[in-house]
């Protein structure tokens, strides 16, 4: 297993590869205009169960018709997918009409599919397919026995049950099409509490709570035999599943995409979701069975594509690649910057503030900000990690240099060292222990943050974690999390060794003091 | 020939005047000790010579040439400098500390080795110390290494800024002896700052007594003790003698 590519045999080749790979990817991305004719179809998917499943169905359908396909799954949410699509980083992804209306067209919820198609075409040069035939909207779910006990049919029936215990996802509590307006429209008196969506079903099944918000296509509905209350006042907007795609695609591709129109209903997508979430089937298999059941493809038995669970070592290698390219870049920038700042202290503070500010941007937001600038994939992830690594490196370099005993600096000057000689022979050697500690901090931060890079399609161990989280699959989460933890641990050990070699003991003690 | 000449030197630190219009000469190859209480300005006066502190007014000549501040580094290589605690570079061993100036100024390794040998003998330090690090040395040993580092390039002037203040009396006694031996073997202009009259009397050819940025008396050691120029000097000497007696 090549856990440490630097130490493996083809050292220089691999190094070279590591260095040129981002450049190659950059070229690939900047070359997207040439994408229209030929080249693979790049399919995105949001990082949740149904997103993967629909993305995979699209992918296999196109592959069946002879197109080569690149899967950019695991994209972190609507914003990331939409930015990637708008910037031509992906060609299509499955989306929901209500989401497009609310989050992309900004709050015009009651748009029809035709109106949405016109709006995204005019504003962004994008298009949507006809509906897949199902509506994945919010719904109110209770256990069947409770519905029978209180004779519940509609959401309006809830107005007579003020003591019903409700728990909603935090998102639902806040959204325009969530509780705030729902309770107004239906005059509901209850006081709901917030709950993490992943835990809501469990709490409902165990009678901890009586009513939760769900997505109407969740696999849990059939599994737990839940009762969905009728939205009798038509409060919830339509969330018709569609393919969201770039207008420049060849008509042959669009014709194939449109084969999915009205192929599903809610019960069917619930069943497919349940197969992935509860039966633990790989979504590639569920997708293939569905497509062959619909006679949209002929089942060739074994899937031709790469296995979903690709090798841990490959992902570890990708992870290290992300981490160390970013770290190396940050070292090349931050350490010289720290040193030059030391010679002009006026800019030290502003620079530290700026890099400190970068650090406070939530990782996922920073990654999302990278997309309009650098697209998706390795490059934006490396740049984001690079920005995160700057602060510890810059701060430690500056603090180390300013922290050197002023008497030593005075004597070095007094005996006749030039400013540069003083830096070279006295200050930098004395600053090295603190700088190495900064590199160590940056490396560990990067290994951790790099797991989030999977959200923008950069690969790495985060792919297991993100997929595992979305599918509620602990085994898969651990497949990413354990190597990531081991990596962080190994980095700590390696740096401990480096410090032992590079820093004489008495200086180490001095730092500790 | 004068080694150092002060011409109407004043120095202000923020709003206080540390030195006011000081003029005097330091003779070639003499040991001049500047003595005074804390805050008298004695260390400031010393650091004017190697340009660590600049005069607010007036100018200084070294061997009858005005200090060329843009090229001060070259001047400093001809001026040895030793401070309290020696301030050896903690990441370098004794050999590296002593030879740093030779190394970065292109002196050949053979010459450097010869010089190290000579200096170690003069300060009575065993060559086994060369591979040790500063934290492994006693205070007196550190000061001896400090002297060697300052003397590496055989400077014409040697500045000592209260170097021995923290040493115990026995060690101080030994190191004084070595400093005088060094002066005998390699005569040079030595300027030393101290607040210890006994040390001054023992080492100095001439003593300069400074108070509130003004020279109170500059004279042969004997004259300072026997013919104090004013009440401050007389009082200063009496205080120091009583303090030592107690």
DSSP A260-281: GTT---HHHHHHHHHHHHTS--
Q: Does B52 touch chain A (CB under 8 A)?
A: yes
Dihedral sign for Cα atoms in the order B57, B62, B66, B68: negative
Please indicate whether residue B240 or residue B119 has the higher confidence score (pLDDT): B119
For B155, the closest chain A residue by CA position comes to: A415
Q: Does B106 touch chain A (CB under 8 A)?
A: no
pLDDT at residue number A376 = 79
Cβ distance A180 to A192 under 8 Å? Answer: no
Q: Which of A38, A56, A39 is nearest to A93 (CA)?
A: A56
Answer yes or no: are the C-beta atoms of B120 and B141 closer than 8 Å.
no
Which of B80, B89, B135 lies nearest to residue A426, judging by beta carbons? B89
Beta-bridged to residue A503, according to DSSP, are none
Of residues A413, A418, A510, nearest to B90 (C-beta) = A510
A506 contact B CB<8A: yes
Does A425 lie at the interface with B, CB-CB under 8 angstroms? yes
Parallel, antiparallel, or unpaired for β A211-215 and A226-228? Answer: unpaired
- By Cβ distance, the residue of A408, A416, A430 closest to B77 is A416
Measured N-to-C along each axis, helices A283-293 and A266-277 cross at an angle, to the nearest 10 degrees, of: 150
pLDDT the model gives residue A305 = 46
The predicted structure's pLDDT at residue B116: 96
Q: Is the pLDDT of residue B173 over 60?
A: yes
Contact between chains at A408 and B149 (C-beta distance less than 8 A): no
Helices A462-470, A312-343: axis angle to 10 degrees equals 120
Q: Which chain A residue lies closest to B104 (C-alpha atoms)?
A: A421
SS3 A215: strand
What are the residues whose beta carbons fall under 8 Å from the beta carbon of A498, sequence distance 6 or more? Answer: A436
CB contact under 8 A, B73 and A418: yes
B85 touches A at CB < 8 Å: yes
Residue, of B101 and A80, whose pLDDT is higher:
B101
H, E, C per residue of B108-139: CHHHHHHHHHHHHHHCCCCHHHHHCCHHHCCH
Answer with the residue of higher pLDDT: B82 or A26: B82
What is the reported pLDDT for A108? 64
Q: Which two tokens stand for residue A80?
A: 């990331």
Rounded distance, CA A45 to CA A330, Å?
31
* Spatial CA neighbour of B208 closest among B2, B13, B27: B27
Cα within 13 Å of Cα(B103), Cβ side: 12
> Two tokens at A81?
């997918």
Assigned token pair, A219? 């696999």
Q: Give dist(CA A78, CA A95) in Å, integer.
A: 8
What is the distance between the alpha carbons of residues A227 and A221, in angstroms, rounded to a whole number?
A: 8
The helix/strand/coil state of A150 is helix
Place of tokens 């290290």: A320
Q: Please list every residue in chain B whose beta carbon sits closer than 8 Å to the beta carbon of residue A504.
A: 91, 133
Which of A403, A408, A416 should we substitute to test contact with B (largest number of B Cβ atoms within 10 Å)?
A416
- Are A256 and A33 in contact, with CB atoms under 8 Å apart? no
Q: Which residue of A has its CA nearest to B158?
A: A415
What is the structure's pLDDT at A508? 56
Minimal Cβ distance to A507: which of B52, B91, B100: B91
The whole-number average pLDDT for the span B197-205 is: 93
Enumerate the residues of chain A whose CB falls inside 8 A of the CB of residue B87: 405, 407-408, 410-411
Low-confidence ranges of chain A (pLDDT < 70): 1-38, 107-109, 299-311, 503-513
Q: Give me the percent of chain B exceeding a pLDDT of 90.
A: 84
Enumerate the residues of chain A whose CB falls inside 8 A of the CB of residue B81: 411, 414-415
Q: Do A416 and B85 touch (CB under 8 A)?
A: no
For residue B81, give how far its alpha carbon lies from the nearest alpha carbon of chain A (Å).
6
How many Cβ atoms sit within 10 Å of the Cβ of residue A108? 13
**Residue-level pLDDT at A33:** 38
Handedness of CA A367, A368, A372, A376 (dihedral sign): positive
Could you tell me which of B193, B232, B235, B196 has the C-alpha nearest to residue B212? Answer: B232
Residue B72 belongs to what H/E stretch?
helix B72-77
Chain A residue nearest residue B98, CA to CA? A415
């Amino acid at each position: 297993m090549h856990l440490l590519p630097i130490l493996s045999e083809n050292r220089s080749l691999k190094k070279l590869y590591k260095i040129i790979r981002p450049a190659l990817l950059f070229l690939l991305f900047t070359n997207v205009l040439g994408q229209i004719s030929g080249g693979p179809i790049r399919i995105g998917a949001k990082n949740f169960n149904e997103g993967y499943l629909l993305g995979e169905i699209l992918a296999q359908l196109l592959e069946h018709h002879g197109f080569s396909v690149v899967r950019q799954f695991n994209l972190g949410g609507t914003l990331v997918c939409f930015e990637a699509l708008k910037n031509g980083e992906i060609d299509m992804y499955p989306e929901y009409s209500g989401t497009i209306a609310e989050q992309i067209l900004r709050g015009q919820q009651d748009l029809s599919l035709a109106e949405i198609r016109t709006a995204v075409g005019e504003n962004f040069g994008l298009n949507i397919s006809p509906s897949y035939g199902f509506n994945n909207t919010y719904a109110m779910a209770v256990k069947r026995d409770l519905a029978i006990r209180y004779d519940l049919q509609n959401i309006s029936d809830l107005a007579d049950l003020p003591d019903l215990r409700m728990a909603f996802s935090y998102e639902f509590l806040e959204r325009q099409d969530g509780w705030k307006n729902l309770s107004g429209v239906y005059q509901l008196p209850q006081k709901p509490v917030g709950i993490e969506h992943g835990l809501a079903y469990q709490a409902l099944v165990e009678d901890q709570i009586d009513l939760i918000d769900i997505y109407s296509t969740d696999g849990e509905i059939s599994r737990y035999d839940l009762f969905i209350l009728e939205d009798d006042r038509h409060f919830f907007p339509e969330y018709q599943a569609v393919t969201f795609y770039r207008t420049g695609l060849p008509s042959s591709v669009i014709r194939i995409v449109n084969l999915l129109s009205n192929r599903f209903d809610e019960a069917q997508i619930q069943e497919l979701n349940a197969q992935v979430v509860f039966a633990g089937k790989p979504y590639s298999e569920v997708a293939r069975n569905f497509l062959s059941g619909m006679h949209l493809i002929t089942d060739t038995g074994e899937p031709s594509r790469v296995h979903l669970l690709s090798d841990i070592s490959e992902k570890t290698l990708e992870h290290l690649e992300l981490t160390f390219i970013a770290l190396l870049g940050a070292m090349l920038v931050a350490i010289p910057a720290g040193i030059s700042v030391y010679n002009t202290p006026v800019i030290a503070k502003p620079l530290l503030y700026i890099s400190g500010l970068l650090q406070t941007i939530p990782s996922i937001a920073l990654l999302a900000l990278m997309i309009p600038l650098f697209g998706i994939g390795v490059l934006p992830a490396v740049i984001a990690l690079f920005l995160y690594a700057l602060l510890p490196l810059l701060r430690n370099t500056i603090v180390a240099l300013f922290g050197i005993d002023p008497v030593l600096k005075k004597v070095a000057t007094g005996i006749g060292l030039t400013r540069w000689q003083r830096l070279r022979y006295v200050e930098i050697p004395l600053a090295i222990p603190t700088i190495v500690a900064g590199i160590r901090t940056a490396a560990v931060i990067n290994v951790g943050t790099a797991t989030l890079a999977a959200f923008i399609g950069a690969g790495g161990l985060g792919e297991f974690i993100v997929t595992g989280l979305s599918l509620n699959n602990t085994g898969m989460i651990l497949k990413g999390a354990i190597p990531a933890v081991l990596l962080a641990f190994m980095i700590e050990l390696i740096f401990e060794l480096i410090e032992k070699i590079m820093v004489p003991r008495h200086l180490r003690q001095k730092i500790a003091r | 020939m004068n080694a150092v000449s002060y011409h109407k030197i004043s120095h202000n630190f923020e709003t206080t005047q540390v030195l006011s219009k000081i003029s005097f000469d330091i003779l070639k190859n003499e040991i001049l000790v500047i003595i005074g209480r804390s805050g008298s300005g004695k260390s400031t006066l010393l650091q004017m010579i190697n340009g660590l502190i600049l005069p607010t007014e007036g100018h200084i000549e070294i061997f009858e040439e005005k200090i060329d501040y843009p090229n001060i580094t070259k001047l400093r290589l001809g001026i040895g400098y030793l401070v309290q605690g020696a301030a050896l570079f903690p990441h370098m061993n004794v050999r590296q500390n002593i030879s740093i100036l030779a190394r970065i100024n292109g002196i050949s390794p053979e010459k450097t080795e010869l010089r190290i040998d000579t200096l170690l003998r003069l300060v009575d330090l065993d060559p086994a110390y060369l591979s040790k690090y500063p934290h492994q040395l006693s205070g007196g040993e550190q000061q001896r290494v400090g002297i060697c580092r300052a003397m590496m390039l055989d400077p014409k002037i040697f500045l000592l800024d209260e170097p021995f203040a923290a040493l115990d009396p026995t060690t101080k006694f030994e190191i004084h002896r070595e400093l005088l031996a060094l002066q005998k073997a390699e005569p040079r202009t030595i300027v030393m700052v101290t607040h210890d009259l006994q040390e001054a009397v023992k080492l100095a050819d001439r003593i300069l007594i400074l108070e509130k940025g003004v020279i109170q008396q500059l004279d042969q050691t004997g004259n300072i003790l026997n013919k104090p120029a004013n009440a401050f000097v007389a009082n200063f000497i009496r205080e120091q003698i009583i303090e030592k007696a107690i």
